[in-house]
Amino acid sequence: MRLAVTDGHLEIEVTDDGVGPAADFHAGIGITGMRERATELGGTCTVAAREGGGARVLARLPIGASS
């Protein structure tokens, strides 16, 4: 797990060394919910295969006042 502040965003990254998402992967309720919440906050959340195997979840959320 990694937490960092970059360009006015909080970055939260979680990786594993498992088999990673299948080629025909479709986001379920959990991943969809994380993406929707990040978007509501003005950020992003991506889930992808990690180079060398495994998966990577990266959320980038803006730091500062929100409307």
pLDDT at site 8: 94
Q: How many residues does the chain have?
A: 67
Helices (H) and strands (E) in the chain, counts: 1, 4
Q: What is the pLDDT of residue 25?
A: 84
Q: Is the pLDDT of residue 66 over 70?
A: no
Q: What is the pTM of this model?
A: 0.86
11-65 pLDDT, tens digit per residue, is 999 999 998 888 888 889 999 999 999 999 999 999 999 988 999 999 999 998 5
End-to-end CA distance of the chain: 29
